[in-house]
Amino acid sequence: MTASRLGVAVAIVAVVAVLATVPLFSSDVIVQFGINALLLAVLAQGWNIIGGYTGYASFGNSVFYGLGSYGVAIAMVQWNLPFAVGMIFGAGLAVAFAFLLGVPVLRLKGHYFAIATLGLAQVMSAIVSNIGIAGQNIGLVLPPLNNDHLFYELSLGLLVIATLTVFWLTRSRFGFGLIAIRENEEGAAVMGVNTTLYKVLAFALSGVFTALAGGIHAYWITFLDPDSAFDISLNVKMIIMAVFGGPGTVLGPVLGAFVLSAVSEILSSKVTNLAGLFFGAVVVAAVVLMPRGVADVMRQFRTAGWRYFVENLRAHRI
């Protein structure tokens, strides 16, 4: 490990340590904002595995989120099982879904994959609202646990594990296989990458983190219904955060989630009306000016300066 790498590692550990102590001296509002931001970062990071590293723009990650939420809710409400068992159950549902539907759906490319997963999310939402054990379209109410500090630390821990996993991807054979699939799937196959297996594993791994985030959120909010659990716009949010920060990078999605959460929090507290508009406008501007995310801007801006934005424009317009 070079000196600069060591520096980065130390800095990251320090940031995590500081984040871990936030609840000790912060107001409830900040802790609640923190839980939301951390969970969104987990979602963006989870999406990063299938979308950023493997190159499959999943709009079906909200299915994993919903399965994780309902896994916890059903286990705790209907079966009186502890939260931890519910988390495992939810993650298991996500893995099962990834394997059953991943095999056919991951054969699709580009827009078609995106739209098929979008369809799946809608189907799952509609199916769950017809299942008795899931409370149909009324939903389920979980036993309340008024311990925001615990939820905060759980969320932080999950984010750290998700990020370490993605870091491992960048230096493992498995991760190289995923990147090769993203860059050129046929080329990867003739070089010996079992593309079907790798894609499904990436989908499942992405699903596990997403489901766990959903499980924590469900227990924290103590209420869920099909519309909120399988919300497509949450899926779009994770994509935007990952893409805004830099898809296919280790820290980009986390950065994107934190920055965008903070901005929309500030906006919605100061100028309530403008938050939604701003969010849309940021997305439009970001796509036009920095299509490879903040992480790329930070790398390139030093050398290219403002030309960076102009060149992005030139590269993609007609």
Q: Quote the least distance from Cβ 131 to other proteins, whole Å.
A: 11
Please work out, in degrees rounded to the nearest 5, the angle formed at the alpha carbon of residue 272 by the alpha carbons of 267 and 274: 70
Element (H, E) at 140: strand 140-141
Residues 6+ apart with CB under 8 A from 273: none
Q: Report the residue from 24, 190, 270, 302 that binds other proteins according to the rule CB under 8 A.
A: 190
Q: With b meaning 16 or more CB within 10 Å and e meaning fewer, what string describes 197-210? A: ebbbbbbbbbbbbb
| Minimum distance from residue 276 beta carbon to other proteins (Å) | 4
What is the footprint of other proteins within residues 49-88 (CB under 8 A)?
A: 51, 57
CB of 205 to other proteins, least distance (A): 18
Nearest-angstrom CA–CA distance, 99 and 197: 9
Other Cβ atoms within 10 Å of 242 Cβ, number = 29
Lay out the site mask for other proteins across 237-256 (x = CB under 8 A, - = otherwise): --xx--x---x---------
Other Cβ atoms within 10 Å of 288 Cβ, number:
13
- Interface positions, 170-189, toward other proteins (CB under 8 A): 171-173, 176-177, 179-180, 183-184, 186-189
- Min dist CB 26 to other proteins, Å, is 30
The rounded distance, in Å, linking the Cα atoms of 190 and 171 is 21
Partnered with residue 223 across adjacent β-strands are 141
Pick between residue 49 and residue 91 the one whose CB is nearest to other proteins: 49
Tokens of 76: 């705790």
x-or-dash string of contact with other proteins, 107-136, rule CB under 8 A: xxxxxx-xxx-xxx-xx-xxx-xx------
Would you say 72 or 134 has its CB closer to other proteins?
Answer: 134
Assigned token pair, 171: 């230096």
Q: Which residues in this chain contact other proteins in the complex, by CB under 8 A? A: 51, 57, 104-105, 107-112, 114-116, 118-120, 122-123, 125-127, 129-130, 137, 171-173, 176-177, 179-180, 183-184, 186-196, 232-233, 236, 239-240, 243, 247, 273, 276-277, 279-284, 286-288, 291, 313, 315-318
